[in-house]
Each structure stands twice: as structure tokens, then as C-alpha cells.
């Protein structure tokens, strides 16, 4: 299975399990994660959700071939279900990130409550490089977390940044040696699972209350732009260059 799940001691672990493809996410994987989150929300025995990948890769983001072959509007795809369920999750969500996180592999983290990263992990959000715009409310949440100028730099240039830089920006809670990442994340999840669930649910609700509606609106606005930009020349050139293993040429594309 490209997504594996496990329930144990009040913790639902949702793991990317497609290492041969750098854990790039297909529509089927989005559907499995959306279903897993919904199941975790409905199961009273589940107290905490924990996302993880493999030591060498968290997720390379969308599987571009699969993504481009799906004909539905972005808002109708399984990715939209995943985004909706994760952004509206009422239970604590932890992410343990190692290796590399790209695109939605980063923006999904903005909806997690605690993020732990292994030393040597690299993050990047190369949307502009692909002729696209940010998604998953990252254009709103990222500036709130790291400040406008840093957010603009990360989203304009799409250059990789380290786990240590992510921690310094406030994006990551703690950076650990790779061997300690999962034990620490599971221990933190276990600490939360031992707390009163109503207390955690209400605390999370209060923390997010002041911007929850705005986040939902931003996701919808980004989706509208993202769907349109997928059909434009810049994105088509970016994907063609990716498949042809060359650098994209935007010199003849005007906005």
C-alpha cells in the first residue's frame, strides 16, 4: 500500500509508503489519507493523528503525471478531500518529517499542530517555478508563521531550506537526529493521547478560531487560481521540461 495506517494506543499513524517514487502523492493516495483522517476523527479511541514518511523522504509532493492525467477540477479531486479533512481536523495532528518535503509535502504541515524534523531534512515549495500558485492556504498561513518577507522569498524562489532554518522561522517545533525522530514523535503523540480529549479539542478549536473561516476561503481562492494556471502556457512548459529533463524556458511567456 502506498499509504499505510496503524491504530495503536490512541494514535493513528498515517505513513507515506511509496519510496521508489519519493513518496509522490497520487489521487488514490490522497483518497486514502482523506478516508484515514475521517476515520480517525470518527473513532473515539483515536486521540492523535501522526503523519510520517521514510527516513530518506517525507514526500516529493504531487505525482505530476498522475496529477495532470486527472481531468476533474482541482476542487473536485481527492486532494481537495484531503485538504478539507486535514484543515478541519479537530484532534491534534503531529508530523514527523525527514529527508525531503516538497510542495504539498510542506504546505500540509501548516495544518499540523506539532512538527518535528530530522537533521538534514530539506523543504521547498516550488509552485512559482512550475507556473503555479501556492495552495492549501499556504499564501495565508505561511506569512503568519514566518513573516511576509520570508514567506515571499520561499514562495517566489522555491529554493530549498533546511530543518534548522525551518525551526528558526517557527515552522518546525524541534529538530532531532534522524534515529531519534520517530521515537520522539511517538512519545509526544503518546503524551497527548494521555490527556483529556475534550480539553485538547477545545484548545485546538480556540487556537484556530480567529482564522479558520479565512483559511477555508483562502483554500478556495487558491484552488480557483491553481485550476486556471494548470491550463496556462507557463505550467505546460514547466511540466514539459520536467518530462524532457531540461530547464523550462519562460522567456516567451508573458503575464
Pairing state of beta strands 48-52 and 93-97?
parallel
Chain centre distance of CA 133: 15
Could you report the per-residue pLDDT of 157-190, keeping only the tens digit for each? 999 999 999 999 999 999 999 999 999 999 999 9
Say which DSSP state 191 is in. Answer: H
All domains in the chain, ordered by first residue: 1-177+196-255 (3.90.226.10)
Q: 215: Cβ–Cβ under 8 A, 6 or more apart, which residues?
A: 87, 137, 140, 141, 208
Per the confidence metrics, is the pTM higher than 0.75? yes
Q: DSSP of 79-141, one letter per residue?
A: HHHHHHHHHT--S-EEEEE-SEEETHHHHGGGG-SEEEEETT-EEE--TGGGT----TTHHHH
Angle between helices 148-157 and 138-146 (to 10 degrees): 130
Record the cell numbers describing residue 188, joined without a space.
509526544
Could you report the per-residue pLDDT of 34-85, keeping only the tens digit for each? 999 999 999 999 999 999 999 999 999 999 888 777 666 666 689 999 999 9
Rounded CA separation 164/4 (Å): 28
Could you report the per-residue pLDDT of 10-39, keeping only the tens digit for each? 999 999 999 999 999 999 999 999 999 999
Which pLDDT score, from 0 to 100, does residue 75 have?
64
For 195, 203, 223, the CA distances from 188, given in Å and listed in that order, are 11, 17, 33
Q: What's the alpha-carbon Rg for the chain, to the nearest Å?
A: 18
Amino acid at each position: 500500500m502506498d499509504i499505510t495506517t496503524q491504530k495503536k494506543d490512541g494514535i493513528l499513524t498515517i505513513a507515506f509508503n511509496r519510496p521508489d517514487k519519493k513518496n509522490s502523492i497520487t489521487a488514490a493516495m490522497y483518497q486514502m489519507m482523506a478516508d484515514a483522517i475521517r476515520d480517525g476523527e470518527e473513532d473515539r479511541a483515536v486521540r492523535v493523528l501522526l503523519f510520517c514518511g521514510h527516513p530518506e523522504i517525507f514526500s516529493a509532493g504531487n505525482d505530476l503525471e498522475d496529477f495532470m492525467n486527472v481531468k476533474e477540477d482541482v476542487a473536485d479531486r481527492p486532494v481537495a478531500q484531503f485538504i478539507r479533512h486535514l484543515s478541519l481536523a479537530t484532534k491534534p495532528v503531529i508530523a514527523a518529517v525527514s529527508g525531503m518535503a516538497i510542495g504539498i509535502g510542506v504546505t500540509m504541515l501548516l495544518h499540523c499542530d506539532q512538527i518535528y524534523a530530522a537533521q538534514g531534512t530539506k523543504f521547498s515549495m516550488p509552485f512559482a517555478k512550475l507556473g503555479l500558485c501556492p495552495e492549501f492556504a499556504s499564501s495565508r498561513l505561511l506569512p503568519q508563521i514566518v513573516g511576509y518577507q520570508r514567506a515571499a522569498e520561499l514562495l517566489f524562489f522555491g529554493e530549498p531550506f533546511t530543518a534548522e532554518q525551518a525551526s528558526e522561522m517557527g515552522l518546525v517545533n524541534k529538530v532531532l537526529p534522524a534515529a531519534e525522530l520517530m521515537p520522539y514523535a511517538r512519545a509526544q503523540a503518546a503524551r497527548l493521547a494521555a490527556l483529556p480529549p475534550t480539553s485538547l479539542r477545545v484548545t485546538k478549536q480556540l487556537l484556530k478560531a480567529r482564522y479558520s473561516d479565512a483559511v477555508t476561503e483562502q483554500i478556495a481562492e487558491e484552488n480557483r487560481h491553481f485550476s486556471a494556471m494548470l491550463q496556462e502556457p507557463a505550467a505546460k512548459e514547466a511540466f514539459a521540461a520536467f518530462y524532457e529533463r531540461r530547464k523550462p524556458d519562460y522567456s516567451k511567456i508573458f503575464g
